[in-house]
Structure 1
């Protein structure tokens, strides 16, 4: 079944317009999902909103959003008031500026979407914009309403189409200092740093998403299969706790293991040219 577009509108660059569609690029729909059951009856159970004071169920038509001003003093927001306050979607991806593909910190990247021309007639204009951006290694920064929220969107060429990535707002990204302030400032040099660099060189490789398996999902799938077949599944073997050793000794052992494991060092090789960020999905 062909994927369903989550958004359709116009991609606008200056006076050039192109009808486009956005498709979800990453999905969790293939993961195993469960229902909550009543252990005694085997029937499904459903969530229900109840009044925290009376304990009685609250029907859907009586449920409204409220903003807590403090101490349980709520401002009630009616659905009609929220609908009027939310900006209408003009269905236009209006490019405000172009910037280098690596300009935006990855911390601001949110959800990726594939961008395609939405009609056969739009293919020429779409291809023109995509190829011009690719030649300049440029990304477009645009804004539009998606799922009733105004979002900033980064658009980059990707293979035959483009990828649009919604961006976090500045207030959503926490400052690094809040996490890093307690890290002590150390100056590491000499043999320790050289050994660490050597280990990195001997384990150099390329990113291949197919090489990474979802062990949690695989374990759940095997458990479900075993239950269906009436088999008893053996508990996964727990790794033995690592022995605490001196950091320098650990580096030396790691470097030695890399030399004897058949992994070829890339120390003398010319570094591979990095893939342009626009090709990253």
Structure 2
């Protein structure tokens, strides 16, 4: 299992060297977008609308938009120093609380913790203490350049870090539109609803729940593959040297024609005047 982070979990004077691993994975079926005409994958490029051109990664800087179209630019060194300053701190458990005191809306993502070299005994100590007291630890830690509020608990004999949202990241329920106030419910309707809930009540078994849409989508994809309903993206034709040479010659010829200064054509009247003048001079001279 890939190690995402290495650090130290501490509570009191106990330090536990640990490694962190992602506990969950996204199994969404990712679909690509193709150009309908030639079945080629669509590319998304970074462009600057002001300069009207594509930009390379080394031309991009990070900034915070504090007002409409007004930014504070932060360079990579400033961000790296800030990140290192926080990462050097040990993850300290600051409080112990009961799991049921935290509403599920706060939970974000789960990570497994495994002990690093020499950390097995301290790891086992914290696990036993949490198990005996029925408590979970509340801590702060840096994950992917963000300071996270987190809880540390036990899941099937393994310590787990659950990142949780800060209170100001949870939107106020008062902002939810069209939520009815207390409504009067007929006793008969309420009793029927409670009876239905009782009939459907069971022990939670996560294995019984499946992603029906993902399963059906994968089956459809497999069926199309078996029926040879597949397509191959057309490769962009490689330029031919001969064609390139001819194109270059033709373009050079066109450019030369455009750059060549235009000569004035002799008009019949002007040439006639010159002839008359010359003949007059000859007669006079004679």
Distance 1:45 1:159 in 2: 44
Partner secondary structure for residue 102 of structure 1 = helix
* Pick aligned residue for 2:44 from 47, 71, 75: 47
Kindly indicate whether the alpha-carbon contact (under 8 Å) linking 1:90 and 1:144 is maintained by their aligned counterparts in 2: no
The structure with more helix, counted as a fraction of residues: 2
- 1:72-151 equivalences under 5 Å are 72-86=69-83, 87-90=85-88, 92-119=90-117, 121-151=118-148
Tell me if the contact between 1:8 and 1:91 (Cα under 8 Å) persists in the aligned partners. Answer: no
Alignment of 1:196 onto 2:193: yes
Shifted more, 137-146 versus 213-222: the winner is 213-222
Give 1:224 deviation, angstroms: 1.0
Q: Given the superposition, is the C-alpha separation of residues 91 and 25 from structure 1 closer, same or farther in structure 2, using an over 3 Å criterion?
A: farther
Residue deviations 1:24-79, cap 9 Å, x none?
11101x44333333333333332111112343111211112233343423333322
What per-residue deviation string (whole Å, max 9, x for no partner) do you get for residues 115-156 of structure 1?
22123x322221111111111100001112111211111011
- For 2:238, the equivalent position in structure 1 comes to none
So what's the TM-score if we normalise by structure 1? 0.74
Q: Determine the C-alpha separation between the residues in 2 that align with 1:183 and 1:170.
A: 24
Q: Which residue of 1 aligns with 2:10?
A: 12
Offset at residue 83 of structure 1 (A): 2.7
> 1:277 matched to which residue of 2?
none
Secondary structure, aligned partner of 1:196: helix
2:158 is matched with: 161
Partner Cα separation in structure 1 for residue 107 and residue 34 of structure 2: 37
Worse-matched range after superposition: 59-68 or 155-164: 59-68
Deviation at 1:98, TM superposition (A): 0.9
Deviation at 1:223, TM superposition (A): 1.9
Show structure 1 runs of 5+ residues with no match: 233-281
| TM-score normalised over the length of structure 2 | 0.73
Give how far 1:94 is off. 0.9
**What is the DSSP-based 3-state SS (H/G/I as helix, E as strand, rest coil) of the residue aligned with 1:38?**
coil
Change (3 A) 1:92 1:191: same
Larger Rg: 2
1:71, 1:18 → 2: CA distance?
Answer: 46
The 3-state SS of whatever aligns with 1:47 is coil
The CA distance in 1 between the partners of 2:111 and 2:189, in whole Å, is 43
Q: CA RMSD in A?
A: 2.1
CA distance in 1 between partners of 2:10 and 2:187 (Å): 55
Conserved? CA contact 1:6–1:22, under 8 Å: yes
Aligned to 2:280: none
Q: Mind listing any 5+ residue stretches in structure 2 that lack a counterpart?
A: 230-286
